């Protein structure tokens, strides 16, 4: 069999096994992830029950594609803007987990008799929860809309970013046997630079391109383009030295901000499920019974320590971030397992020769064991949270749960004008500096070669002058954005100047600092092509000031770049605001209080069809309010209690997540059962040729009045002419062949 057919056979075995065991999991009311892992273990070459997988490497490649699609889908659901909303909380939680588990891993490895380097690697790999497992489990269990879900997903993203830094740090330690703070800082700066650059460029270019091509974008083309962009960012991330998962998440986050984001997410569902299944089956295939038998004690110890350690530190980190007891407990129980980055870090240690070979399959077994426990741990969050709420003293609960007035403190902090000024200032400087730095890098790497090929007739110095001129021309609008425009800085500065006249000096110093940064970029551009002496530096500084002053008067219209970027950034929210003004307004004004809206369709079998809202059981059973009824193209805002509900009405309800769950359950539970006399009767299509004594012969279709008996004539063959759906005046003749459709027993009577 050829290699291609071997791959098809492998995929057939994997998917059939996955299908069988997920059906069993569904029947046993277990999460689908467990079915996938069991399927992988059953068909693995280690067990030998089925024909062996012929190309394990190919399966690994398919599973890597599965990780890419899962992270791409996560980015589409959880954009960078959502990450920023939980940014500090996610950073505190992920940092607590990472630091705590590094210490636990170091102590555990030493207790097991492992070397210092093995113990350090153990701490690093034990600090990473599984993004893919949690995404899939939350999807299967329907928990993505829970209030703690954004914090969990944000923490997972921060963990993935920390994993990149951790791999650099551990690699440096393994090679040099000493800590390299400079290397870690450089890696962090490089990661921040590329993330900001990708987001800025992607969010400026991609929405504009999609908007211009919108009339040509059917589902097929949009799916192809989005997957192509995803794989392109994956390749770019690998080229920059980052993980493919990070690249997929970044592109998903960029597309999530476009107006097509929700449509792309819907189109991707089937592909994500397919490759996600292959990934989890491949995880199950990594379980080696021989390794488990030889090191089962170590595996159990590490699994218990990993689950308890991550649970403890993630709960603690979430509490430190001010998320309250309920959210923190759910975060802890949801993240208590090892993830795919654990495999990568373990593989890195083995490849560098600082970890013994048996450790890698042991870590895989620990990860699989904790993955098995993950769905049950997630489900355990609710009862444990309720138990703690009932057992802990009121004084303790008052300290760890955010007070009701917390939002007021937040709003006061946000109203701090100096804080707002510094925030706006730093964001503007960082974003424009990233763009200018990227332009300088592109200039130095691309323009010299391009000038040599296009301008061979010029001298070397003249080509440098041309390259420098092109670089400065391209940089001018961004220098203008960095140094001249103020955006929201002006709003805060004007209020501060009104409060106190002396505030002008620190504000002026911030302006001077921006000018110096802009001049620094101009000097960098010049010195990348020419060497400057003392007077040369002075001339360059004066030239920089001149460029900035000229930019203020000559390229002011180029500030439209910034305006277009902000429009792209907020395009999806603007579209939602126009299409769903009620839901958008509630989300914008009440998000701090966890008040949401949900739109559900009324089933034609709903027991209260035709009755007014006041008789509906919604308030009694769930406590929600119906704030809008969408009926076709009509929208009834704040309907009165006398408003009658009809089939297929869309009811927009407002309430807390628990209230909305009760509302959904009420709509599903109050459905009328189908009565016996309402069930479909047996349908038949009977063909017969009319004789002289037939009940139809000589009658017109109107006179036959067949519909009373539940039948109708579909077609008639008369003298070689085939008549479909004959009219009411058609008169049947002897020898006609008729096709009668309807109730089987009645149709037989007409034969």
Angle CA 384–334–409, to nearest 5 = 80
* pLDDT over threshold 80, residue 566: no
Average pLDDT, the chain: 78
Instruction: Report the run of H or E that residue 162 belongs to, with start and end.
Output: helix 149-176
**By C-alpha distance, which of 641, 650, 640, 653 is closest to 602?**
650
* pLDDT over threshold 60, residue 185: yes
Q: What is the pLDDT confidence band of residue 405, given thresholds at 50, 70 and 90?
A: very low
Q: How far apart are CA 519 and CA 470, in angstroms?
A: 17
* pLDDT over threshold 60, residue 345: yes
Q: How far apart are CA 160 and CA 129, in angstroms?
A: 9
In this structure, of 51-65, 519-533, 547-561, 724-738, the range with the lowest mean pLDDT score is 547-561
Q: How far apart are CA 750 and CA 728, in angstroms?
A: 17
* pLDDT over threshold 60, residue 559: no
Q: Strand, helix or coil at 62?
A: helix
Q: Nearest 10 degrees: CA dihedral of 322, 326, 327, 328?
A: 70
pLDDT score for 406: 43
30 φψ region: left (φ > 0), alpha (ψ -120 to 50), beta (else):
beta
pLDDT score for 204: 80
Render pLDDT for 32-82 as a digit per residue (tens, 0 to 9): 777 887 888 888 877 767 666 666 677 777 777 887 887 788 778 766 666
Backbone angles phi and psi of 625, in degrees to 5: -115, 140
The residue-averaged pLDDT of 294-310 equals 88
pLDDT score for 55: 65
Q: What is the pLDDT confidence band of residue 14, given thresholds at 50, 70 and 90?
A: confident
Is the overall model pTM greater than 0.75, yes or no?
Answer: no
pLDDT score for 410: 39
The residue-averaged pLDDT of 522-543 equals 71
Q: Strand, helix or coil at 616?
A: coil
More confident residue, 324 or 81: 324
The residue-averaged pLDDT of 442-455 equals 84
Q: Write out 698-748 in H/E/C secondary structure.
A: CCEHHHHCHHHHCEEEEEEEECCEEEECCCCCCECCCCCEEEEEEEHHHHH
pLDDT score for 225: 92
Q: How far apart are CA 205 and CA 192, in angstroms?
A: 20
| CATH numbers and ranges of domains, the chain | 56-277+295-389 (1.20.1530.20), 413-566 (no CATH), 585-676 (3.30.70.1450), 680-749 (3.30.70.1450)
Q: Strand, helix or coil at 687?
A: strand
Render pLDDT for 606-643 as a digit per residue (tens, 0 to 9): 888 888 888 888 777 778 888 888 888 788 888 888 88
In this structure, of 18-27, 461-470, 535-544, 705-714, the range with the lowest mean pLDDT score is 535-544
pLDDT score for 591: 59
Rg (CA), the chain: 33
Q: Strand, helix or coil at 671?
A: strand
Q: What are the residues facing 722 on neighbouring strands?
A: 717
pLDDT score for 569: 66
Q: What is the pLDDT confidence band of residue 199, given thresholds at 50, 70 and 90?
A: confident
Render pLDDT for 133-169 as a digit per residue (tens, 0 to 9): 787 778 777 777 677 887 888 888 788 777 766 776 7
Quote the percentage of the chain above a pLDDT of 70: 78
Q: Angle formed by the axes of helices 340-351 and 116-125, to 10°?
A: 160
pLDDT score for 607: 83
pLDDT score for 407: 40
Render pLDDT for 230-256 as a digit per residue (tens, 0 to 9): 999 888 888 887 777 778 888 888 888
Q: How far apart are CA 278 and CA 259, in angstroms?
A: 30
Chain centroid offset of residue 53 CA: 32
In this structure, of 93-97, 534-538, 682-686, the range with the lowest mean pLDDT score is 534-538
């Amino acid at each position: 069999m050829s290699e291609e057919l071997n791959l098809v056979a492998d995929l057939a075995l994997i998917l059939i096994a996955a299908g069988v065991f997920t059906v069993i999991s569904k029947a046993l009311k277990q999460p689908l992830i467990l079915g996938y892992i069991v399927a992988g273990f059953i068909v693995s070459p280690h067990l030998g029950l089925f024909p062996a997988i012929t190309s394990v490497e190919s399966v690994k490649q398919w599973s890597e594609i599965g990780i890419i699609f899962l992270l791409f889908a996560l980015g589409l659901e959880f954009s960078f803007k959502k990450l920023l909303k939980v940014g500090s909380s996610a950073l505190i939680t992920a940092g607590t987990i990472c630091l705590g588990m590094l210490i636990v891993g170091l102590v555990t490895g030493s207790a097991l008799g492992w070397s210092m380097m093995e113990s350090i690697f153990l701490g690093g790999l034990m600090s990473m929860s599984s993004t893919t497992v949690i995404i899939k489990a939350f999807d299967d269990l329907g928990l993505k809309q829970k209030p703690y879900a954004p914090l969990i997903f944000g923490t997972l993203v921060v963990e993935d970013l920390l994993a990149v830094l951790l791999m650099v740090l551990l690699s440096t330690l393994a090679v040099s046997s000493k800590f390299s703070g400079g290397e870690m800082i450089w890696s962090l700066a490089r990661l921040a630079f590329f993330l900001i650059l990708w987001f800025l460029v992607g969010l400026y270019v991609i929405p504009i391109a999609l908007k211009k091509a919108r009339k040509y974008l059917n589902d097929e083309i949009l799916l192809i383009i989005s997957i192509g962009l995803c794989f392109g960012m994956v390749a770019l991330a690998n080229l920059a030295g980052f993980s493919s998962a990070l690249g997929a998440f970044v592109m998903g986050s960029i597309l999530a901000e476009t107006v097509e984001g929700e449509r792309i997410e819907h189109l991707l569902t089937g592909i994500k499920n397919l490759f996600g299944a292959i990934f989890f089956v491949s995880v199950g295939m990594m379980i080696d019974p021989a390794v488990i038998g030889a090191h089962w004690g170590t595996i159990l110890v590490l699994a218990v320590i990993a689950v308890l350690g991550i649970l403890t530190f993630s709960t603690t980190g979430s509490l430190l971030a001010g998320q309250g007891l309920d959210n923190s407990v759910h975060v802890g129980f949801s993240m208590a397992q090892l993830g795919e980055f654990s495999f990568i870090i373990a593989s890195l240690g083995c490849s560098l020769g600082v970890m013994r070979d048996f450790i890698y399959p042991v870590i895989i077994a620990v990860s699989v064991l904790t993955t098995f426990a993950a769905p049950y741990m997630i489900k355990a969050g609710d009862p444990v949270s309720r138990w703690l709420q009932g057992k802990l003293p009121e004084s303790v609960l008052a300290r760890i749960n955010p007070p009701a007035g917390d939002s007021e403190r937040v709003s006061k902090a946000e109203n701090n004008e100096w804080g707002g000024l510094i925030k706006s200032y730093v964001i503007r400087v960082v974003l424009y500096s990233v763009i200018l730095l990227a332009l300088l890098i592109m200039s130095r790497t691309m323009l010299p070669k391009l000038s040599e090929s296009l301008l061979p007739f010029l001298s070397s110095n003249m080509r440098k002058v041309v390259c420098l001129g092109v670089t400065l021309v391209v940089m001018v609008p961004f220098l203008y954005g960095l140094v001249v425009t103020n955006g929201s800085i002006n709003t805060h500065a004007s209020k501060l100047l009104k409060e106190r006249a002396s505030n002008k000096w620190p504000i002026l110093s911030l302006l001077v600092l921006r000018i110096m940064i802009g001049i620094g970029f101009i000097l960098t551009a010049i010195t990348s092509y020419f060497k400057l002496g003392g007077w040369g530096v002075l001339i360059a500084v004066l030239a920089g000031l001149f460029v900035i002053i000229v930019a203020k008067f000559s390229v002011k219209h180029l500030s439209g770049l910034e305006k277009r970027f902000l429009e792209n950034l907020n395009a999806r929210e603007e579209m939602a605001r126009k299409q769903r003004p009620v839901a958008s307004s509630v989300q914008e004004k009440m998000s701090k209080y966890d008040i949401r809206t949900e739109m559900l369709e009324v089933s034609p079998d709903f027991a209260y069809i035709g009755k007014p809202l006041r008789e509906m059981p919604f308030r009694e059973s769930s406590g929600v309010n119906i704030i809008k009824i969408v009926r076709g193209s009509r929208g009834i805002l704040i309907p009165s209690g006398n408003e009658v509900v009809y089939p297929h009405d869309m009811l927009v309800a407002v309430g807390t997540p628990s209230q909305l769950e009760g509302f959904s359950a009420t709509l599903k539970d109050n459905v009328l059962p189908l009565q016996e006399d309402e069930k479909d009767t047996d349908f038949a299509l009977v063909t017969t040729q009319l004789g002289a004594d037939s009940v139809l012969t000589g009658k017109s279709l109107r006179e036959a009045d067949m519909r009373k008996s539940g039948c109708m004539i579909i077609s008639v063959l008369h003298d070689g002419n085939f008549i479909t759906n004959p009219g009411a005046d058609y008169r049947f003749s002897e020898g006609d062949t008729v096709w009668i459709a309807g109730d089987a027993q009645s149709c037989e009577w007409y034969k």
